[in-house]
Amino acid sequence: MVVAIDGESLTIDDVVQVARFGKKVEIPDSAIHQIKKSRDVIENAIKEGRTVYGVNTGFGDLANVSIGPEDLAKLQVNLIRSHSVGVGKPFPVEVVRGMMLLRANALTKGYSGIRLEVINNLIGMLNSGITPVVPQQGSVGSSGDLAPLAHMALVLIGEGEAFYNSERMDGLKSLKKAGMKPITLQAKEGVALINGTQAMTSVGALTVHDALTIVKDAMIAAGLTLEALRGTRAALDERIHAIRAHEGQTDVANAMRALLPDSEINQSHAECGKVQDAYSLRCIPQVIGASLDTVRYVQSVIETEINSVTDNPLVFSDDGTIVSGGNFHGQPIALAMDFLGIALSELANISERRINRLVNPHLSGLPAFLTTEGGLESGMMIAQYTAAALVSENKVLAHPASVDSIPTSADQEDHVSMGTIAARKAALILENVRNVIAIEYMCATQGIDLLSPLKAAQPLEVAKSLIREVVPKLEDDRTLAPDIEKIRGLMTAGEIITQVERITGPLLDV
């Protein structure tokens, strides 16, 4: 099976399959005619001697400089070289593969005036496993992701660097090893390759995909903690959530009820007289549900963007016009990714508060720091410190990038989105959240073990058993960092969710 790109039907799951798992890509025959019509408009404009931005003019504040016919190809190569000024660590391979797929998909829509041959070469690189080395820093998010996409395009023309078979090498060498040749760009093609939002959108697509998974892990971990702390299920009453009716809240409450059927632990404190829990337990549906609503909103923004045309100028072949606009502006992605970062941060915030309750004997009713030899041993005391550090870091990262703008190109581009920074921050926040949830998993399973022989609800016992396959109960102090990493590995692979959902059914309709 391959992913067919036509500029209309790409999904976030398609992006994940191509970016992470190497699924092949092709252009269906149905898209080729529109691509060629779009190119014909550019070539006709050149023949007619029309002045067209980016075709026979300079760029940005140099748009009033005319370029002669003999220099049109050189103009495009100069553009790629001059815009390749990214710095910092390279984007992960999966992000660059996502960029390549998304750029090819946008070009395939047929409004960019680029030759089919160029798109085919970009797809050829993707299918051959050639991944350009693209530095992460240098994009202000308008006119699109110029620097990252320029580094991507360098390899197409036989320059720059690339990863091939896990080896970093000269871009031309990678093409030769894959049996490919550099492309010679013609008029409009350089600007069509680099003027778009594909770096921020690739990061966004992968992050929002993972965020939907993180929400499920957050719920399972919260359920384990509620059992370990002998919390009440009363706050999950369906009637409570029906009369507020936020979709995410309702869905999370439904999922939590599926995770928390009656259990031996619940029966053990049925007559304790406790009527309510702290907010970090009582408000699980309200807090996680609000984050879920946000993730779904961002998902809808990304799904729109991955099938949009975001370069400039745009070619409308029906009437032969070429129009300059601003679709390259990353504001929709910038705002959405800032919002996603905030929503993800809240998952960690409330998780850390539950971790604190687990390790604090004044709140938990469990042995101090989840060890039976408190004093001689510190147990899981410092695991909460780590969670607190990650939560604090997220509070810094969650500051929105989209509220900032620095003019560029001699004030021709006087408002920019900072969308790529927003996307990169959201991805960093997600990694921190994953670690916090892993710590909650570790502490909550220890708490349940300390209530033995009482058992938790069946779905949660399955989750605990899977964790215990890789991380044994803490009997004596040991280095806990490897335990967190092993649980994180289960989360990344989706194994805890898979095993739990075999009992509960799908926790969320995502």
d(C-alpha 344, C-alpha 388), whole Å = 15
CA-angle at 131, arms to 130 and 134, nearest 5°: 150
Coil vs helix vs strand at 65 = coil
Which residue in the list 53, 111, 164, 441 is annotated as catalytic? 53
Contacts of 217 (CB under 8 A, 6+ apart): 434, 437, 441, 491, 496, 497
> Which tokens sit at 25?
């890509």
Cα 151 to chain centroid, rounded: 21
Residue 179 to residue 174: CA distance in whole angstroms: 9
Helix ranges, 141-197 (H): 146-156, 171-177, 189-194
- The C-alpha atoms of residue 446 and residue 384 are separated, in whole angstroms, by 14
Secondary structure of 188-233 in HEC code, one letter for each residue: CHHHHHHCCCHHHHHHHHHHHHHHHHHHHHHHHHHHHHHHHCCCCC
Give the whole-angstrom CA distance, residue 486 versus residue 437.
12
Contacts of 55 (CB under 8 A, 6+ apart): 42, 45, 46, 72, 113, 187, 188, 313, 322
Active site residue 441: no
> Per the structure block, which two tokens stand in for 35?
């691509």
Tell me the three state secondary structure of residue 156. helix
Distance between first and last Cα of the chain: 23
Q: What is the 3-state secondary structure (H, E, C) of 366-426?
A: CCHHHCCCECCECCCHHHHHHHHHHHHHHHHHCCCCCCCCCCECCCCECCCCCHHHHHHHH
Catalytic residue list: 53
